A and B are shown apart, each in its own frame.
Chain A
Amino acid sequence: MENYVIIGNSVAAIAAIEAIRKKDKEGSITVVSDEPYLAYSRPLISYYIEGKVDEDRMLYRPRGFYEKKNVKTILGEKAVKVDSKTKKISLKNGQEISYTKLLVATGGLPFFPPMKGIESDGVFVFRTLDDAKKILEYSENTKRAVMIGGGFISLKAAHALRELGLEITVVELLDRIMGIALDNQGAEIVEKRLEENGIEILTKHTVSEIVSNKRGKVEAVILDDGKRIDCEMVIVAVGVRPNFKLLDGSGVKTNRGIVVNDKMETNVSNIYAAGDVAEAYDFLYKENRLNPIWPNAYEQGFVAGTNMAGGSRKYPGGMGMNSVEFYGIPSISMGITSPEEEGYEVLIKHLPDKNIYKKLVLKDNVIIGAIFVGDIDRAGIVNGLIKEQAVVRDYKADILEDSFGFVSFPIDVRKEKLTKSKSKAS
């Protein structure tokens, strides 16, 4: 009988449990997580701060999920070591757990840039429910919070704290917010809307120092140009790094993340990895890359679980993508949105007075990236076309139009997609 051990308890772990139980009802499954909670939706922590969801509504799966799937949980205990020779993992409390199949789904950890004052009271990261609880408590005595970094996580924290009435300044090194996902024209729309709602955005700047008072609490930040911004809270959101320190000495190959093949296997037999910790195949870059996003983590976890349970399933590869809405302006980005080299075709529809910006990036009539700001309604069709690597020569001019849909496709393509029985997604 298999003895599955899963380290981590977020989306990749849950997907793996669901996949394993489709194939193997008998094997024992043990989930170990350093967080004391049932699997919850991490992206909802900003809504938790705003008071829009409580802990119960944050549960990713209904209460009773683990019992129903016959999963043993060890929550609030950190796994610190993997011994691939004896096939055992060790917990911080000294306990050892044997496995026959191991999944490492430990996610990422926020990156702390070296910076004077970063250890001060009132400096937070924004990843876990516990982070959100601490921020919420601290916010009661906070007038202004400064966000270091202008990506999704920073902006979601900024939005949540603004809803609580705090004054907010976002400091971003690049010349735009959401630098990876959007380009300048797309970001400008979102930026304007955030500023209209009281979130101050300073691009092309960094925080060079965090200043604390005598009691060690944050009282200001100093920018690279010497400007001082008084604040009581700082949130550091300049990126996450895969969390694989526990694999030191295990022989598992790591690069920027844990290197996996298309079955989510590492180089060490019976050890798999999935989710934000894994460096899996990216079908656009045609190489292994970090793509730490929710949908990829689910798919990778599901592939890992299927293969761990003796099935055969390949990860087709993922791509970067994200979706967020601020103050009534939704934005979606996918794939390579601002290629650095020449040789790409770019189609743009920009209606600044309507807060709409849409962009397609193509190479040889195949879409490799897209941005949708303000109008996202049929963005998913484009996602499907990117995954299929479909040649869109005949209808590419229609894609950014309001009327775009399956009606834009040649009739045989449309019939193939819509009238066949196996409505399987690409």
Chain B
Amino acid sequence: MKRIYAKEEVCIGCKLCEIHCAVEHSKSKNIRKAFKEYPKPKERLIVEYKGHISFALQCRHCEESPCVAACMTGAMQKDEETGVVTNDQNKCIGCWMCIMVCPYGAIKRNEEEKRVAIKCDMCPDSETPVCVAFCPNEALIYEER
């Protein structure tokens, strides 16, 4: 499957990917309106940085996903056709078993409205995941490897 890969050599750590991710997962999908929403839109990726190194990290949508195996509600599922791992926000109860087993540390807690785990869903409404599309320095690539 196509996945998102970071090129840390050209990442400038601007975190625009975070902003656009949060907006894409808001109700309005509008950058000016989104940040007044409740619950506040939250990005589903992590920008890691240390000194001059930085890069964005999202769910790797593992072939065999430990989060799916560990999910006790059945909320976390891997789509058999697309390979995308998504968490059903209506089923999730925030037990954090997925966070416990994700070897990438790529699942986040959202406790603002109700306790749910959130993660990269590959932006189902967008042709290219928005973190990739809006990266000003092409430090994120969406491709098959």
| A-to-B contact residues, CB < 8 Å | 11, 15, 41-44, 47, 52-53, 57, 59-62, 294-295, 298-299, 302, 321-325, 328, 330, 332, 334, 376-381, 383-385, 387, 403, 405-408, 414, 417-426
Q: Which residue of B lies closest to A421 (CB)?
A: B145
Query: Contacts A405-B46, A407-B49 known; A325 to B99 CB distance under 8 Å?
Result: no
A41 and B97 alpha carbons, distance in the complex (Å): 13
Residues of B within 8 A of A378 (CB): 105
**CB<8 Å pairs between A and B, sample of 8:** A380-B102, A384-B103, A403-B50, A407-B55, A419-B5, A421-B3, A422-B63, A424-B63
Of B14-22, B24-32, B64-72, the one with at least 4 CB within 8 A of chain A = B64-72
Residues of B within 8 A of A376 (CB): 96, 99-100, 109
Residues of A within 8 A of B8 (CB): 414
- Tell me if B70 and A294 are in contact (CB < 8 A): yes
Per a CB cutoff under 8 Å, which of B66, B96, B111 touches A332? B96
Of B36-44, B87-95, B129-137, the one with at least 4 CB within 8 A of chain A = B87-95
Residues of A within 8 A of B74 (CB): 41, 59-62
**Closest chain A CB from B61 CB (angstroms):** 7
Residues of B within 8 A of A418 (CB): 5-6, 55, 57, 60
- Tell me if B95 and A295 are in contact (CB < 8 A): no
* Shortest 3 CB-CB contacts between residues of A and residues of B: A384-B103, A421-B145, A380-B102
- Tell me if B64 and A425 are in contact (CB < 8 A): yes
Residues of A within 8 A of B91 (CB): 57
Count residues of chain B with CB under 8 A from any CB of chain A: 47
- Tell me if A52 and B105 are in contact (CB < 8 A): no
Q: Which residue of B lies closest to A53 (CB)?
A: B93
A153 and B75 alpha carbons, distance in the complex (Å): 21
Residues of A within 8 A of B145 (CB): 419-421
B12 within 8 A of A: no
| B-to-A contact residues, CB < 8 Å | 3, 5-6, 8, 46, 48-50, 53-55, 57, 60-66, 69-70, 72-74, 90-91, 93-109, 111, 115, 144-145
A60 and B94 alpha carbons, distance in the complex (Å): 15
Q: Which residue of B lies closest to A382 (CB)?
A: B105
- Tell me if A325 and B96 are in contact (CB < 8 A): yes
A414 and B57 alpha carbons, distance in the complex (Å): 11
**Closest chain B CB from A208 CB (angstroms):** 34
A72 and B111 alpha carbons, distance in the complex (Å): 40
- Tell me if A383 and B62 are in contact (CB < 8 A): no
Residues of B within 8 A of A302 (CB): 69
**Closest chain A CB from B91 CB (angstroms):** 7
Residues of B within 8 A of A406 (CB): 48, 55, 57, 104-105
Residues of A within 8 A of B103 (CB): 380-381, 383-385, 387, 425-426
Residues of A within 8 A of B53 (CB): 407
Among A11, A57, A380, A385: residue with most chain B CB under 10 A: A380
Query: Contacts A43-B95, A47-B93, A378-B105 known; A298 to B69 CB distance under 8 Å?
Result: yes
- Tell me if A294 and B104 are in contact (CB < 8 A): no
- Tell me if B63 and A423 are in contact (CB < 8 A): yes
Q: Which residue of B lies closest to A424 (CB)?
A: B63
**Closest chain B CB from A293 CB (angstroms):** 9
**Closest chain B CB from A10 CB (angstroms):** 10
Per a CB cutoff under 8 Å, which of B93, B100, B144 touches A380? B100
A106 and B55 alpha carbons, distance in the complex (Å): 46
- Tell me if B107 and A330 are in contact (CB < 8 A): no
Query: Contacts A44-B72, A61-B74 known; A295 to B49 CB distance under 8 Å?
Result: no
**Closest chain A CB from B24 CB (angstroms):** 22
Query: Contacts A41-B74, A380-B100 known; A425 to B95 CB distance under 8 Å?
Result: no
- Tell me if B100 and A379 are in contact (CB < 8 A): yes
- Tell me if B50 and A380 are in contact (CB < 8 A): no
Residues of B within 8 A of A381 (CB): 102-105
Query: Contacts A295-B70, A423-B60, A423-B63 known; A380 to B95 CB distance under 8 Å?
Result: no
Query: Contacts A60-B73, A406-B48, A418-B6 known; A423 to B100 CB distance under 8 Å?
Result: no
Given A380-B104, A383-B103: 5 more A-B contacts, CB < 8 Å: A44-B73, A47-B93, A60-B72, A380-B100, A381-B104
- Tell me if B93 and A377 are in contact (CB < 8 A): no
- Tell me if A15 and B69 are in contact (CB < 8 A): yes
Query: Contacts A419-B5, A425-B66 known; A52 to B109 CB distance under 8 Å?
Result: no
